[in-house]
Structure 1
Amino acid sequence: MNIKKILNNNVVLSTNDNNEEIVVMGRGLAFQKKVGQTVDAEKIEKTFVMENSSISDKLTELLRDTPAEIFEIAYKIISIAKEQLPYDLDDYLYIALTDHLNFAISRYKQGISIANALLWEIKKYYKKEFELALESLLIINREIEVDLPQDEAASIALHFVNSQLSGENVETTMQITKIVNSILTIVIYHYNIKLDEASINYERFLTHLKFFALRYIRSERNQAVAEDNFLFEQVKNKYPKAFHCSEKVAAFVSKTYGWKVSNDEKIYLTLHIHRVTSRADNH
């Protein structure tokens, strides 16, 4: 595998055995290398086939117009994220985060500051991602002496969350966050309690709500699947308060987003609501 073009010290263009153009990534892969020389196979960490227009072409184009130091920073941040986050990160994150950092740093140097309207929600619902994003700000400051505000940490955290959701755009992730926040508010006011955010049931409920919202945004409601009416009636009768709360949630998403929540969805919502509130509500 020979180098066709060097994009920076960690990224080169090459071809594979099928003569397809590929983007090859790896720490120090192109250091002291020249076009035409062989790629050190032991240093290869990521390979993108150029025919994959959704990633490889965008990555190649982005790296042509982005300062090498910005990609170096994004690369470091993603490497740390892979070690610290408990889920796989989508390869598109290399593009999304590099592009975001380039734009954010450019704005900073121009004295332009943009507040993140979801800062509080992101800090609250995506704690691991936000902590990692704060660490990312320290890396950026250490590497290029740019002191980005916490609002940018919130934006970086959204990119991590977005990557977990397999390539959804950041606008979708922001919409999911708003929906989750609204549903949790309904539950809190319905029960007039403070939820235990450190509990495993809370974490499970958050995860369920994130993917509940994502399914509806993607219109993945599986309406053709037969619903379990027997189980629905059992859950409805056994957990009446939680079921009434799930009905409020269903009414909210119907009025706000035009989504019709199925009985199956109400079953899962009811069970999660009961679990997350049972200890605090003493029921």
Structure 2
Amino acid sequence: MRIKKVYNNNVALTEDRNRTEMVVMGKGLAFQKKNGDKIDVDKIEKTFTIPSEGFASKLAELLDEIPYEIMVLSKDIVDLAAGRLSTELNDSLYLSLSDHIQFALTRQKDGILIKNALLWEVQKFYKDEYQVACEALDMIEVKTGVRLPEAEAASIALHLFNARQDSSGMEETIKMTTIVMDIINIVKYHYGIEFDEASMNYSRFVTHIRYFAYRILRDELSDEENNQLYEQVKMQYPDAYECTKKVQRYLNSEYQMGMTKDELAYFMIHIHRVTSRVKN
């Protein structure tokens, strides 16, 4: 493995015999090294594959601003998340997470506290990611001596969710979370009930809404018009129908998106099921 480019004393871009590029990190592994020199593999602590053409250049930019220790810490958090979430994470997470952690530490040092408006929603809807993020706060504290506020766990959790290989962008993730929360509140206030958030019934309902919100934002809603099913469900579950109409008005007002009769029918069924079980 030979050096292709030295970023600093601790980080270098390398190339193996198969001409595969990889960023390697380790204390002093590139000290007094130049392009073409061999890397001492015993000094390698972390490795990054090159997922895209711009990855290496973006990493180089961050290395001018972010301490090596934070980069290593971020890699450890990403490795923890990949194992706990049992999923592949985009390599770009190393960059975005390192940048976020360093910025959060700087803000904490300067006494600038920022609330995360989605803290409660993230705790409820992205429980696995949030749990990993809470452990990340512990890891950050051990490494830096700084305890970041709970709001940062929500931010890190969103970064983790966003980095899933099958996920959408951060902006879409936040929009989806907002839609889910708003729809749940519409149902709660319409029926005057509180959900048992630990129940499987509630979990199924949230999963349905999350998938529904995902399809809304990607314009993948059903184009079917099942009038017979719609009329049948409308007559059978009149309260769920009125609630669904409120959801429809909300989506039309906030996102200029409608619902087909097919979507309306299935939404009524889901609302009736979750609310009737709560009442019972």
What band does the TM-score fall into relative to the shorter chain? 0.7 to 0.9
1:198 is paired with a residue of what secondary structure?
coil
Distance 2:10 2:82 in 1: 18
> Residue 241 of structure 2 corresponds to which residue in structure 1?
243
> Residue 74 of structure 1 corresponds to which residue in structure 2?
74
1:90 is paired with a residue of what secondary structure?
coil
Paired letter, 1:269 = F
Q: Would the aligned equivalents of 1:3 and 1:39 in 2 still touch at CA under 8 Å? A: no
Return the offset for 1:104.
0.7
> Residue 99 of structure 2 corresponds to which residue in structure 1?
99
> Residue 37 of structure 1 corresponds to which residue in structure 2?
38
Alignment coverage as a number of residue pairs = 274
Structure 2: 5+ residue runs without aligned partners? none
Structure 1: 5+ residue runs without aligned partners? none
Q: Would the aligned equivalents of 1:12 and 1:30 in 2 still touch at CA under 8 Å? A: no
Aligned CA distance change for structure 1 residues 199 and 165 (closer, same or farther; 3 Å): farther
Return the offset for 1:183.
0.5
> Residue 252 of structure 2 corresponds to which residue in structure 1?
254
Please state if 1:264 is matched with 2:280: no
Instruction: Please list, as runs of the form range in 1=range in 2, the aligned pairs for 1:26-65 lying within 5 A after superposition.
Output: 30=26, 33-34=29-30, 35=33, 36-37=37-38, 46-51=48-53, 53=54, 55-65=55-65
Paired letter, 1:161 = F
Q: Would the aligned equivalents of 1:4 and 1:14 in 2 still touch at CA under 8 Å? A: yes
Q: Would the aligned equivalents of 1:8 and 1:30 in 2 still touch at CA under 8 Å? A: no
Return the offset for 1:273.
2.0
Aligned CA distance change for structure 1 residues 196 and 105 (closer, same or farther; 3 Å): same
Q: Would the aligned equivalents of 1:2 and 1:38 in 2 still touch at CA under 8 Å? A: yes
Aligned CA distance change for structure 1 residues 8 and 193 (closer, same or farther; 3 Å): farther
After TM superposition, the structure 1 stretch with the greater mean CA deviation from structure 2, 124-133 or 149-158, is 124-133
> Residue 214 of structure 1 corresponds to which residue in structure 2?
214
After TM superposition, the structure 1 stretch with the greater mean CA deviation from structure 2, 253-262 or 204-213, is 204-213
2:194 is paired with a residue of what secondary structure?
coil
Aligned CA distance change for structure 1 residues 23 and 207 (closer, same or farther; 3 Å): farther
Q: Would the aligned equivalents of 1:23 and 1:60 in 2 still touch at CA under 8 Å? A: no
Distance 2:156 2:162 in 1: 10
Q: Would the aligned equivalents of 2:2 and 2:39 in 1 still touch at CA under 8 Å? A: yes
Distance 1:201 1:9 in 2: 55
Please give the per-residue CA displacement for 1:196-216, whole angstroms capped at 9, x wherever unaligned: 211223223223322322333
Aligned CA distance change for structure 1 residues 164 and 19 (closer, same or farther; 3 Å): closer
Please give the per-residue CA displacement for 1:10-45, whole angstroms capped at 9, x wherever unaligned: 96412467757x3446xxx646644522585x9986
Return the offset for 1:56.
4.8
Please give the per-residue CA displacement for 1:118-163, whole angstroms capped at 9, x wherever unaligned: 2222223323322222211111110011111111112112212222
1:4 is paired with a residue of what secondary structure?
strand
2:117 is paired with a residue of what secondary structure?
coil
Structure with higher Rg: it is 2
Paired letter, 1:256 = E
Please state if 1:146 is matched with 2:143: no
Identity rate of aligned residues, in percent? 42
After TM superposition, the structure 1 stretch with the greater mean CA deviation from structure 2, 268-277 or 93-102, is 268-277
Root mean square deviation, CA, Å: 3.2
Aligned CA distance change for structure 1 residues 167 and 280 (closer, same or farther; 3 Å): closer
> Residue 232 of structure 1 corresponds to which residue in structure 2?
230
2:112 is paired with a residue of what secondary structure?
coil
Distance 1:33 1:48 in 2: 19
After TM superposition, the structure 1 stretch with the greater mean CA deviation from structure 2, 143-152 or 229-238, is 229-238
Q: Would the aligned equivalents of 2:123 and 2:154 in 1 still touch at CA under 8 Å? A: yes
Q: Would the aligned equivalents of 2:137 and 2:153 in 1 still touch at CA under 8 Å? A: yes
